[in-house]
Structure 1
């Protein structure tokens, strides 16, 4: 009996001292720049690396980020003016490499996306983006975003705070045409920040 208790206490001693860690950085460059090792808070069990590209007219910006994550999915999303890819892993410091640039090669699927108040624009999906996504929230007025997403992204964003409803469908242009009063960038940034930081 004493041997069992000793082995149990030894096990607790070795497992209690281990903390999960990931690389942490954010940058508007081709890479994250200086990567720091971050001890993840309780509940975080994954490391993530993400690349987001924003294109508004001739102006383009690329943001790369790495951090700890509670819930994370590898995949990509295209919301018209914002394209994002992420890679998630579950071992210490496994997020050393940057997530790939969001693919520009079309996979043949199309979805609607919103540009201001107009949600009748179409976007070509790429890579693993095999679903159309629609998210709505209400901040005094109805806010809607639409676009392409990987199934893994659709499964993750159903728990985004402040978003009342997220739905995904797998048919071509299945996320419907709809024009509403909205603040596209506000909702888009809320959704993107949740995906990047959780």
Structure 2
């Protein structure tokens, strides 16, 4: 084998060995705790992921109660905009993804509450789940879910964006907040069955909607 062929083979082997490392994306990572604070570091991300910034904002009674920001590696399906509306509280998820090293230096933009879109779903008021709720923006599904708070199982109902109800996102959200999420399409499709537990403000669990792992 000639020296030239030997060199070509060596370059090829080195290319195969080094290419995955050379193509690995480096991103900022900042995973917030429940207080919303985090320490920013850098992380080498798995292949087929992007750099992402995510923001979870919750409103109740017209006031902003929660504004949580995070950064990390993100799969394409995690780069979403979404809204969950339970009447007493509405939580907006916004994200911003990019594909170059350390490109997620900026926070994701803050979401804003949109105008009613004409769709209606049932919501719970105390132990009564017969109230109707006007959905906003891209909230095109009705949602029912149960959360554990204060040792009690609480049923909450309302409106949600389609992405919240996707199989991927529902599995992630349910895994984080310990709930079973049921979604449907069509006005008032989320059953007006009453509950026996009082309605608890559904804000703290939704802080955990930071989907980046």
What's the TM-score bracket when you normalise by the shorter of the two chains?
A: 0.7 to 0.9
1:13 corresponds to:
18
- Paired residues of 1:111 and 1:147 also in contact (CA < 8 A): yes
Are positions 1:195 and 2:200 aligned together? no
Give the gaps of 5 or more residues in structure 2.
Answer: none
**Over 6 Å off, 4+ runs:** 32-35
Give the gaps of 5 or more residues in structure 1.
Answer: none
Shift of 1:171: 0.5
**Corresponding pairs, count:** 192
1:154 corresponds to:
165
Shift of 1:133: 1.0
Shift of 1:125: 1.3
Q: TM-score, normalised by structure 1?
A: 0.72
Mapping for residues 22-171 of structure 1, pairs under 5 Å:
22=28, 24=30, 36=40, 38-39=42-43, 45-46=49-50, 47-55=52-60, 57=61, 60-68=64-72, 69=74, 72=78, 73-80=80-87, 81-89=89-97, 91-92=99-100, 93-94=103-104, 96-136=106-146, 141-155=152-166, 156-159=169-172, 160-161=174-175, 163=178, 165-171=180-186
CA RMSD after TM alignment: 3.7
User: CA offsets, 1:156-190, max 9 Å, x none?
Assistant: 12342264521111101111212213365487633
Are positions 1:176 and 2:187 aligned together? no
Residues 138 and 66 (structure 1), Cα distance of their counterparts in 2 relative to 1, 3 Å cut: closer
Shift of 1:103: 2.1
Q: Distance in 2 between matches of 1:5 and 1:163?
A: 52
Residues 90 and 182 (structure 1), Cα distance of their counterparts in 2 relative to 1, 3 Å cut: farther
Shift of 1:121: 2.7
User: CA offsets, 1:71-106, max 9 Å, x none?
Assistant: 623322212213223225353534724334232311
Q: Distance in 1 between matches of 2:190 and 2:207?
A: 22
Q: TM-score, normalised by structure 2?
A: 0.68
- Paired residues of 1:133 and 1:168 also in contact (CA < 8 A): yes
